[in-house]
Structure 1
Amino acid sequence: MTQKLYDQDSHCRAFSAQVLTCQPGAAGTWQVTLDRTAFFPEGGGQPADRGTLGGAAVLDVQEVGEAILHTTDAPLTPGTTVQGTLDWPLRFGRMQCHSGEHVISGLAHSLYGCTNVGFHMGEDAVILDFDKELSPAQLREIENQANAIITENRPVTACYPSQAELAALDYRSKLDLTENVRIVTIQGCDVCACCAPHVKHTGEIGLVKLLDAMRHRGGIRIWMAAGKMALADYQVKQENIAAISAALSVQQPQAAQGVQRILGEMEGLKETLKAARQALVLEKAKALPETQGNLCLFEADLDAGSLRALANAGMEKCTGICAVFTGDDQTGYRYVMGSRTVDLRAQAKAINTALGGKGGGQPTMIQGSVTAGQAAILAYFQ
């Protein structure tokens, strides 16, 4: 059984250990066991540590039964003593996020009776799922209190209570555990069963920031960041808001107002363009010749309303089908077809089969899309 140094001291970043076994793994890797390790295996929602053992890189760490398997990119000789070194920035950043999650979950539980039912630590954010919905005001209160607790630098401890102590303890847990339960306590904030390493004082978390939230399975899903992850998120957003404010020639606090102004102007331009296109379509419709048989038209960038308007006008000028297409040979064409003499709903399947399309509608008008090119479409309607 491997001695878990990470259990005793979460800040142990280098250690020496004896290699117990080394077996070939998958794809040129090896599975190594040690008599002691500071490498945390994946668990409790926290990914496995990375680092080096001797001259080998540690690619993954998993706990299988009572064994902790270190996946390495080179073999190690059983019986030898090796030096292990954690990728400390990676580990510490994850501890910041995990301890920050405990602060948030503890507050959500104590303030609003929420139970944490999901936890995933990603590269850019931590995802938390709670079984109850929380309002924006409640989320802001949780965030404010969490950062106040962080600045108070409260102690964070871990222990294995006896069964009698555990039975009398009020703690959070996703599983019904009865023995060898590791309890992580954040003074005055949270008591939770957890196997992962944590910071020693809340001040090490740095800060927590709730990034986003949405309703999820009757509760709420929250995206958060803590410590270095939160700082990186802020830096990226700061760069983006600076670029946006510069592009809009507004101060950064007014960037959102500047975007709304531009969106309003764009909507106005869209309406103007739509009106101009509709006027152009009407002029083109007036100029359509009286045609015996079918009338096939191609127009660039027509919206659905303009397609229908042109098809309506064209079906009055021909004795067959007026088919109006917009698009190009590379991306395909959208169509509207109208006729006073042909049952288009009955003919839709044959037309779509011939032109590689799909769509349907009423006897006098159908709409859809085709993949055939312009030459094939013209040949079909001729």
Structure 2
Amino acid sequence: MQPTEKYYEHDAYRREAVGHILAAEPDSRTGGGRIALDGTVFYPEGGGQPADRGTLTLADGTVLTVTDVHEQADVIWHMVTSLPAGAVPGAEAAQAIDWAWRFDKMQQHTGEHILSGILHSMFGAENVGFHIGSDAVRMDTNIPISAEGLKAAETAANRIIWENVPVNITYPTREELAALTYRSKKEIEGQVRIVTIPGADVCACCGTHTAFTGAVGQIKILAAENYKGGVRLSIVCGGRALEAAQAMRARQAEIGALLSAKASETANAVHRVYDEYTALKFTHFGLCSQLFDALAAQVTPGADAIRIVPGLDPDGLHRLAVRLTEATTGLCAALTPSEKGTGYCLAQAGGDVRALTKALNAALNGRGGGKPGICQGSCAAEPEQVEEFLRKQDR
């Protein structure tokens, strides 16, 4: 089969074209199929960039929805939701891509080029992983980069956008390529397509890009984390960067309203609330200790001690169970209601509660475990049901 002509490589802004069907194959699993065309404006998935989506319209007016696009042996296949009788070799198919989807990918991909090139020139960082996700672009570098370094690179990358320099696509000869310094994740056979962004990047790439850097709008690093000896970045560009800023502003306004603070004062307000929270935690810890002492004082030595106390966290459950074991050698159980049932902590001085915990989990849809003398977990039953179960067990 003849190779598919890639219209998108020559003009990423071309949205429509008329092609001829080279082959059409049904897919029994989906009820649809796939169609190969002699030329296409649809970009196939590859190089970290998702495939285009859109429609193919046959000569009789039948509209086929294109859900995915893949390239195999230089032939580009368009996955469609249905394959009518008119989809036969030689038939015309009018193509129309989802332009909003494509332009978003162009913004993200071009922004990735700019930032990757800047990180390479500033720190010698190599981009070893790239993927345009539904929410953000993931970029992986091979070396760690400090927060200060990332901030400087982000500023430098956005300066390239403000300068609105052209994004140049060239196809150098072997001799020209040999004399060119460019980024590439792998060795490429045959003709190499070079994307050059003056002042930022020179890279081998088959994707779609904006014509000028100004169309990227903005590059914003949302998150950075250490990853395999380097750093994994989450970035957004263009329309996604605007949406992220708008969402951040909305969250800031909500936080400010809750704290009764202006946007510029929310950090100070959070510190104040945190200090108050810390003080309350210490007070709560002391009050719980007094409560646990009082509950332990009511226990008859040698008898079981099963106590239901609302509002305890896992640490509180553990502390109460341990305190009860100091008052009796019988079974001690601290129980508290939870959204999904009951949190529990079973303990016994000098005993082994693992078998009992296993039986409780099996009977009351629970999960948990621990050491011989103390086990902790949760179950789906109410605290009173757990208490009843424990009192009926032979030990």
Relative to the length of structure 2, the TM-score reads 0.87
- The residue that corresponds to 1:285 in the other structure is 296
Alignment map for 1:266-345 (pairs within 5 Å): 266-286=277-297, 288-291=298-301, 293-303=303-313, 307=317, 310-311=320-321, 314-315=324-325, 317-318=327-328, 320-328=329-337, 331-339=341-349, 343-344=350-351
> Aligned-pair distance for 1:87?
0.6
Deviations 1:200-222 (A, max 9, x none): 11111111111110111001111
1:29, 1:303 → 2: CA distance? 53
Deviations 1:132-188 (A, max 9, x none): 111111111111111111111111111221111111111100001242111111123
1:188, 1:306 → 2: CA distance? 59
The reply on whether 1:135 has 2:137 as its aligned counterpart is: no
- The residue that corresponds to 2:78 in the other structure is 70
- The residue that corresponds to 2:376 in the other structure is 368
1:63 maps to amino acid:
E
1:293, 1:157 → 2: CA distance? 83
Q: Would you say the 8 A contact 2:35–2:79 is kept in 1? A: yes
Distance 1:306 1:50, change over 3 A: closer
Distance 1:27 1:243, change over 3 A: same
- The residue that corresponds to 2:66 in the other structure is 58
Distance 1:325 1:19, change over 3 A: same
1:354, 1:194 → 2: CA distance? 60
Q: Would you say the 8 A contact 1:352–1:370 is kept in 2? A: no
2:114, 2:16 → 1: CA distance? 28
1:312, 1:120 → 2: CA distance? 51
1:147 maps to amino acid:
N
Q: Which moved more, 1:4-13 or 1:268-277?
A: 268-277
1:144, 1:333 → 2: CA distance? 50
Alignment map for 1:152-171 (pairs within 5 Å): 152-171=163-182
Distance 1:311 1:381, change over 3 A: farther
Distance 1:151 1:177, change over 3 A: same
> Aligned-pair distance for 1:295?
3.5
1:86 maps to amino acid:
I
The reply on whether 1:103 has 2:106 as its aligned counterpart is: no
1:124, 1:310 → 2: CA distance? 45
Aligned to 1:273, the other structure's residue is in SS state: helix
* Aligned residues: CA RMSD: 2.3
1:184, 1:127 → 2: CA distance? 20
2:151, 2:323 → 1: CA distance? 57
Q: Would you say the 8 A contact 1:22–1:77 is kept in 2? A: yes
1:267, 1:219 → 2: CA distance? 36
2:152, 2:220 → 1: CA distance? 12
2:233 maps to amino acid:
I
Distance 1:238 1:292, change over 3 A: closer
Deviations 1:22-79 (A, max 9, x none): 2212401121111111111111110000111111111111001121001112333432
The reply on whether 1:24 has 2:26 as its aligned counterpart is: yes
Distance 1:310 1:158, change over 3 A: closer
Distance 1:123 1:57, change over 3 A: same
Give the fraction of aligned pairs with identical amino acids, expressed as a percent: 36
Distance 1:289 1:282, change over 3 A: closer
> Aligned-pair distance for 1:125?
0.6
1:65 maps to amino acid:
A
Q: Which blocks of at least 5 consecutive residues in structure 1 are unaligned?
A: none
The reply on whether 1:38 has 2:41 as its aligned counterpart is: yes
Q: Which moved more, 1:79-88 or 1:147-156?
A: 79-88
Give the alignment partner of residue 183 of structure 1, picking from 194, 208, 218: 194
Give the alignment partner of residue 148 of structure 1, picking from 152, 159, 168: 159
Q: Would you say the 8 A contact 1:296–1:381 is kept in 2? A: no
- The residue that corresponds to 1:378 in the other structure is 391
2:323, 2:70 → 1: CA distance? 70
Relative to the length of structure 1, the TM-score reads 0.90
Q: Would you say the 8 A contact 1:4–1:36 is kept in 2? A: yes
Q: Would you say the 8 A contact 1:173–1:193 is kept in 2? A: yes
Q: Would you say the 8 A contact 2:346–2:357 is kept in 1? A: no
1:181 maps to amino acid:
V
> Aligned-pair distance for 1:332?
3.7
Q: How many residues align?
A: 373
Q: Would you say the 8 A contact 1:17–1:82 is kept in 2? A: yes
Aligned to 1:120, the other structure's residue is in SS state: strand
Runs of 4+ displaced beyond 4 Å:
303-318
1:240 maps to amino acid:
R
Deviations 1:291-345 (A, max 9, x none): 5543333333345665566556544654x41412223495344224233xxx31x
1:241 maps to amino acid:
Q
Give the alignment partner of residue 352 of structure 1, picking from 357, 360, 372: 357
1:88, 1:94 → 2: CA distance? 10
The reply on whether 1:4 has 2:6 as its aligned counterpart is: yes
Give the alignment partner of residue 264 of structure 1, picking from 275, 280, 283: 275
